[in-house]
Every structure is written in C-alpha cells, then in structure tokens.
Amino acid sequence: MLIETIIARVVRYSTLSSFTFDQAEKITAPKAPGKPIHLYVHIPFCLQLCPYCSFHRVSYEEELARAYFRALRYELELYHHLGFLFESVYIGGGTPTILLDELVKTLELINTLFGPENISVETNPDRLEKSVLQTLSSCGVQRVSVGIQTFNDSLLRRIGRYEKYGSGKELETRIRQTLGVVDTLNVDMIYNFPSQNEAMLAEDLEVLARILPDQITCYPLMVSDLTRREMRSTLGKTGLHSEKRFYHTITSHLAGLYEPSSAWCFSRSGESMIDEYIVSTDEYVGAGSGAFGLVDGAIYANTFSIEGYIASLECGEFPLKGRKSFSARELARYTFLMGLFGLRLDLDAFQERYGKNLWCLLGAEYLFFLLTGGIRRKSGMIELTEKGQYYWVVMMREFFTGVDNFRELSRTTAGVPCSGGDDPLC
Ligand code: SF4
C-alpha cells in the first residue's frame, strides 16, 4: 500500500501543476500540426445529474442545447479553416445522444470537413436502442460506449440510475438487443462505490460474462474533492481500502474471456477501441465547452461556461480560456504515463520523439517502477507487469481525479451563468 500511496501523491501533485495555466491576456488557437490528429468533442447535457459524477455536465434545456450544437459546429469549422486534419473522433459527455438530430448534423459536418477513419460516441442506457445505433452507424460511427456502472438494483437506486435507466435486468436486455449493430459496443462499469461489496461486484461480472459485450471498461470510482463531500450525505463515505482487491476480482473474472487493452479496459478481440483516446494519440484538439486539447506541447482548455462558449463562437472567436505549455520532460512523463496505461511503451519510438532515451529523460521513474516490479523490459519495449497494471490504475485514478478537481473548480466558479470574477476559465 505504501508504493501506491507514494505513486498517488506524486501523480496528484504533478497533475495540479499541469493545470496551472500560463498567464496570458488572450489565448490564440494552436497551429495545425500538418498531420492528422485526434478530435475530442464534448456534449455536456444530461437529463438528470448523477451524484457521483465530476464530469463537466449540466442539466438539459432544449433551446440551450440546440444553440450549443450550432456553436459547436462553428468551432469545428474554425479548426477546419486553420487546416486541422482529424483521423479519429471521440464524442463524449454528458450525453452526446441527448438530441439525436443535432448529433447527426454534427457527425455529417465532421465527415464532410475531416473524413475521419473512425468515430466513437458515448451514450446512456436510455438511448441504447437498435434504431439509435443504426442511425449512428449510418453516420460513420463504428464504436459506441454506454455507461452502465452496475447491474445491481440496490446500487442503481442509490446512485440515482434505477429510475432514470431501469433495473439491472432491463440494462442487460438493452445491451443484448444492441450487440452487433456497431463494430464495437463498450460497456462502462464503475467499482468501489460506497456500500458495494465483493459479492455485488462478482454478480456484475457474472452478468457481463453472460452477455459478452465487445469491450468492458472498469473504472474505479473517481470523484473530485467537492463531489466526495457531497456524496457523503447521499451515497456514504468513499474509501480506497477495497479498490485493489476489487481490481483483482475484475481481472480474475475476466481472464480467459477478455484480453486487457489498457490497465482498466478489456476487449474480446485484440483490436477494439480503447476508451481513453489519450492512450493512443499524442496530440488532440478538444472542441466543446470544458474540453481540453494537447497540441504542439501545450494544453488548451475551452471555457466551462456554456453561455460563454456559445457567445464566443457567435462572435467568431475560439472559446479558448486556458493554455499551459509543457517542458520536454513534462511531455515525456505524459507519454510514459499514457503509453504504459495502454500496457506497453516502444522505447525506440520514445527516443525518436524526444531525442533522448528513457533513462536519460526519466531515469528516476524508470528505476522506481523496475525496482518495485511494476514494469519489465521485453524486446525493445517496456511493458506493465500484473502488479504494474494496478499501479497504473492508481496513477490514472489520481490523474483523472486531479482533472476532475480542476473541472469542478472551473465549473463552480464559471457558475453557469459565468460571473467573471477570479475564474481562470470563465
Ligand atoms: S454519469 Fe453520465 S449521465 Fe450521469 S451526470 Fe455524469 S455524464 Fe451525466
């Protein structure tokens, strides 16, 4: 546990420093890198907000959502004018499928402007219908990811999803009825909820073993500090003491049925989608309110204020509100973290990218994980050991919690409506 605690602290600290933005009067858009990169698109609207969720999401209002989609399409056009090329697209939320006609128009524009090779879309169980997936498929979507979280009815009630999306049995039926419509159907699960025990988790895994979706992503519960405080009164106190045991329950249940494709993602075939596009892409643009991009060694962040986002684009301006440039060492650390989250890192590709080998740039990190048994060297690669897979779960949990804390702070101060004030992204 000591090693995991050290890892968690270091990642939490470095994530905090990564999201301290450079001081600048006005953020200009990044230059197009001259090669196809990845596009992340954020749709922040949800019909009802879940109590454990720290994403950038707001309650759905149709008029506002339609104005948002119009602004989003304009933002995509601005990137096209700058010469950006996108080979892959991930549309996340929120609930991207909340207004299917607007999503379809947006997908058509993406196809016309960029002609990406693959498109992934997140959805919620209420939109997990054959007709919806067929519509998405006809717009070039190959991969759909649905947030299920658990099949346990008492837990679904406690997290406010039973009334919204139905019982565990109904969720199971919806997945069965939609398997095979798109190339990959990914099911998102969450473990380590307060009051969840080993038997409940094992039952969830048994349901999955019966349905056999193309891919399963099992996230440990990740909550920002503010959400954690709020959750105490609804779901109970969160803790980490069971997380490692639960993770091993998951890997042992899925062994033989699924191959790991990242530290928390398991695929039926070796080449399914990986839910975290940041694993497989060095550079990406973030479009939509609260979206982040990483281009030319810098993080770019859009405003978290929905009205501010729409207003900027109505004035023909990028809604960028934060920028942070990284040193070569910080970028190398990011590549090390994300590459190994996808289980292995190519040492030659790393050296080619940074002009120095891993020892020179990240000797301390390399040595630490070799000595603690988290990584091993194998023919030009380093790869995660079984122990290392859990270390990376801890690191990614801390990384995303750090990002969630930043989002929470920015959303609270942006306040929707944005009050200006001290908010770095308002
Ligand atoms: S968990 Fe999903 S549905 Fe619930 S509030 Fe968050 S983004 Fe919306």
Cα of 118 to ligand 1 centre, how many Å?
Answer: 24
Stated pTM of the model = 0.90
Cα-based distances in Å from 48 to 19, 44, 376: 28, 12, 45
Query: Quick one: which of 119, 39, 43, 27 has its CA closest to 84?
Result: 39
Q: Is the pLDDT of residue 189 over 80?
A: yes
Cα of 341 to ligand 1 centre, how many Å?
Answer: 24
Using a 6 Å cutoff on CB, does residue 53 contact ligand 1?
A: yes
Using a 6 Å cutoff on CB, does residue 124 contact ligand 1?
A: yes
Instruction: Locate all alpha helices (DSSP H) within 82-197, ordered by sequence.
Output: 100-114, 130-138, 153-158, 162-165, 168-178
Using a 6 Å cutoff on CB, does residue 402 contact ligand 1?
A: no
The C-alpha atoms of residue 391 and residue 373 are separated, in whole angstroms, by 10
Cα of 350 to ligand 1 centre, how many Å?
Answer: 36
Cα of 131 to ligand 1 centre, how many Å?
Answer: 22
Reported as a single tens digit per residue, the pLDDT across 269-318 is 755 555 556 666 789 999 999 999 999 999 999 999 999 999 999 999 99
Looking up tokens 């001290």, which residue turns up? 422
Using a 6 Å cutoff on CB, does residue 47 contact ligand 1?
A: no
Structural class in CATH, domain 2-280: alpha beta
pLDDT of residue 414: 63
**Atom 5 in ligand 1: which residue has the minimum CA distance?**
49
Reported as a single tens digit per residue, the pLDDT across 88-130 is 999 999 999 999 999 999 999 999 999 999 999 999 999 999 9
Using a 6 Å cutoff on CB, does residue 410 contact ligand 1?
A: no
pLDDT of residue 24: 65
